[in-house]
Amino acid sequence: MTGPKTTAQPKSKTSNEQAEPLLTHEKSLSEKIGRGSEAGDILDQQLAILGFQLITQLNTLIKTSRIHGRTNAALDKPVETMLTLIQTLTPDQPVTLRIQNDFLFLGERHLKISAQQMLVASSIIDTMTKWKIGGLTFAGSTSSKDLREFAYLFVTLDPTAKSLEDLRQELKTHEVTAIQLEDPRELALREETSGTGQGSASGDGTGTEAGPKAQHKAQSKVAYGKAASAVGNLTQSVRDGGTLNFKQAKRAIQNIVDLMMQDESTLLGLTTLRCHDQYTHNHSVNVSLLSIALANRAGYPKIELADLGLAALFHDMGKSNIPLDVLNKPGEFTEDEWAMMRNHPTEGVLSLTQLRGITNLPARMAAASFEHHMNLDYSGYPKLKTPWKLSLTGRILMIADCYDAMTSSRVYRREPISPSKVLNMMFSKSGKSFDATLLKLFVNCVGIVPIGSLVMLDTDELAVVLKPALNKSDSERPLVKVISDAHGELINNGPELDLTEKDEVGAYRHSIIRLVDTTEYQFDTSRYFV
């Protein structure tokens, strides 16, 4: 059996290149930066923050330019902020914002986008794609005039009538030389050898289903982002003592239910987006998605799935009353802090009563908030002195909440636990902490080999699990996407393989020989879903 290849990661830069950090104030860390180091984490976090700020201001600049002229004062703030960011990011060399395969990159670094950032990121990706721009490079000499002229030309010229070369020429005519436009990157598509072609489910996305599939994926990302935004807005309103409006969240969840009915695996794939810095918002949406999928398997009518999804979305609302320094504490809690944490289910019920947009507090929402940490055998919290019968909603949420929490990185646990290990741990508590029947249904949702798992095939290729097998008898043969060759080198747009497919003599074309621990090799599979 072949062991996992440590090269199955994005190609790293040479040591000389790594010695030159992008941020001037990070030069002191340049010699410390190593794989998995705290210094490396800090640098990545700062680059992610600055990269997304650059995207946000670029998006604002473009949208504002659609309304106002290039000299209007409304452009002053986004232009000024962009110039500051460019100068921060380009002390020694130009900074490039790239898109490839629907992912954003700052230079060669993949920018991990949180749930709340999806809407802005998607807007920039769509805008650049319309012009067939693969990258925007800003020199350190970029001026206010350059940004204003660029934005003006960008929104006034028609990408359906003008080419990328036409846009380049217009920039040159207007003496904008500090901003360069890159062609789309050529993707190194994997050549499918004989015997693998028939195993491709939707191939590299170039087939007839590419359009609808891509559209559904885009709609799902937007829906996820809106749900996360609703959680963030309501949580902040609770902290500020403001008025709470329920309508945004209700619309977002109704949309998610509709999309879930069309393609469950795409929505569940988004739950692989796990960011410890945005844990509360991501976790709330993930629990909602997982709960909806499980409830659907349990036979909930569609009209009731939205209520359950809302209940799951706000199951942690009680944490909005916990001080942020406690909630985000990286170390162990004191007894008083633990008391606050254990009380958040009760506080959640009280917070939900303040919501505007519902006439009566739905029983499911109250139960979800109150019961999701109780456990089936009442070994969790809150502790009750009177008899209590757990609701079906509460039992569903216990499973969804535990699975996502344990597979996520947290402020006090940077490394998540792999999905397969989490399922094994949960099954060890089946009938005690978790409802045994619901837990089996949950496995049908995420798969015996869970969505987002990294696996090694019998060809020594690495693949990511995209979708569980439809037939229970083939539960260990999911739909996967090949992401590396037999030598462990990452490939772009590898084929999708249905591991249930057989050749002419009835033998399986491909099989999984082992699960690869993504946490051990620090490989983030969410990029293939988000």
Q: What is the rounded distance in angstroms from the CA atom of residue 405 to the CA atom of residue 45?
A: 21
DSSP string, 241-308: T--EE-HHHHHHHHHHHHHHHH-HHHHHHGGG---GGGHHHHHHHHHHHHHHHHHHHTT--HHHHHHH
**Which residue, among 246, 238, 243, has the nearest Cα to 358 in the 3D structure?**
246
Residue of 276 and 234 predicted with greater confidence: 234
E strand or H helix that includes residue 70: none
Burial of 502 (0-12, 13-18, 19+ CB in 10 A): exposed
In 3D space, the residue among 444, 493, 416, 501 whose CA is nearest the CA of residue 204 turns out to be 493
Span 230-255, average pLDDT:
77
Contact (Cβ atoms closer than 8 angstroms) between residue 21 and residue 27:
yes
pLDDT at 423: 92
Residue 498 bridge partners (DSSP):
479
Q: Is the pLDDT of residue 434 over 90?
A: yes
462 forms beta bridges with 456
| Per-residue pLDDT tens over the stretch 65-92 | 989 888 899 999 999 999 999 988 877 7
**Under a CB-based contact definition with an 8 Å cutoff, are residues 431 and 376 in contact?**
yes
The answer on pLDDT for 333 being more than 60 is yes
In terms of C-beta density within 10 A (0-12 exposed, 13-18 middle, 19 or more buried), how is residue 354 classed? middle
Cβ 462 vs Cβ 483: under 8 Å: yes
Angle at 216 between CA 212 and CA 221, to 5 degrees: 150
pLDDT band at 401 (very low <50, low <70, confident <90, very high): very high
Q: Are 484 and 495 in contact (CB under 8 A)?
A: no
- Tally of CB atoms within 10 A around 288: 32
Band of pLDDT at residue 323, cut at 50, 70 and 90: confident
- Report how far residue 530's alpha carbon sits from residue 526's, in angstroms, rounded to the nearest whole number: 6
In sequence order, the 6+-apart residues with CB closer than 8 A to the CB of 165 are: none
Residue count of the chain: 530
Backbone angles phi, psi at 349, to 5 degrees: -60, -45
Q: Report CA-CA distances (Å) from 421 to 364, 376, 519.
A: 30, 21, 11
Identity of the residue numbered 97: L
pLDDT, tens digit, for every residue of 51-62?
888 999 999 999
Better pLDDT: 117 or 157: 157
Of 98 and 208, which is predicted with more confidence? 98
Mean pLDDT, the chain, rounded, equals 78
CA distance 401 to 372: 7
Could you tell me which residues come within 8 angstroms of residue 291 by beta carbon, excluding any fewer than 6 positions away? 308, 309, 311, 312, 396, 397, 400
Report the percent of the chain where pLDDT is more than 70: 78
pLDDT-derived band at 35 (thresholds 50, 70, 90) equals very low
The pLDDT assigned to 442 comes to: 94
The phi and psi torsions of 137 (rounded to 5 degrees) equal: -110, 125
Task: Name the CATH superfamily for 210-446.
Answer: Hypothetical protein af1432 (1.10.3210.10)
Distance, in Å, from the CA atom of 11 to the CA atom of 188, rounded to the nearest integer, reads: 14
Give CA separation, 26 vs 18, 29, 91, in Å: 12, 5, 12
pLDDT tier for residue 109 given thresholds of 50, 70 and 90: confident
Q: Which of 141-150, 183-192, 444-453, 504-513 has the lowest mean pLDDT?
A: 183-192
- Looking at residue 8, its pLDDT comes to 41
The 8 Å CB, 24+ separation contacts for 193-199 are 195/503, 195/509, 196/495, 196/497, 196/509, 196/510, 197/495, 198/501, 198/503, 198/509, 199/495, 199/497, 199/498, 199/499, 199/501, 199/509, 199/510
pLDDT tops 70 at residue 435: yes
Cα angle, residue 178 at apex, residues 147 and 145 outer, rounded to 5°: 30
Cβ contacts of 35 within 8 Å, gap of 6 or more: 522
In degrees to the nearest 10, what's the CA dihedral of 467, 470, 473, 474? Answer: -40
**pLDDT score at 413:** 52
- Which pLDDT score is estimated for 172? 94
User: What order of strands is seen across the sheet that includes strand 135-138?
Assistant: 109-110, 103-106, 95-100, 135-138, 179-182
Predicted confidence band of residue 185 (pLDDT cuts 50, 70, 90)? low
Angle, in degrees to the nearest 10, between helices 144-156 and 38-65: 60
Dihedral Cα 410, 411, 414, 417, nearest 10 deg = -20
Q: CA nearest 394: which of 380, 412, 413?
A: 380
Domain coordinates of the chain in residue numbers?
Answer: 32-182, 210-446, 449-528
Question: What confidence category does residue 508 fall into, taking pLDDT thresholds of 50, 70 and 90?
Answer: very high
Query: How many Cα atoms within 13 Å fall on the side-chain side of residue 27?
Result: 6
How many C-beta neighbours within 10 Å does residue 86 have?
Answer: 22
pLDDT band with cut points at 50, 70 and 90 for residue 481: very high
pLDDT (0 to 100) of residue 34? 37
Indicate if the pLDDT at residue 518 is higher than 60.
Answer: yes
pLDDT at 179: 95
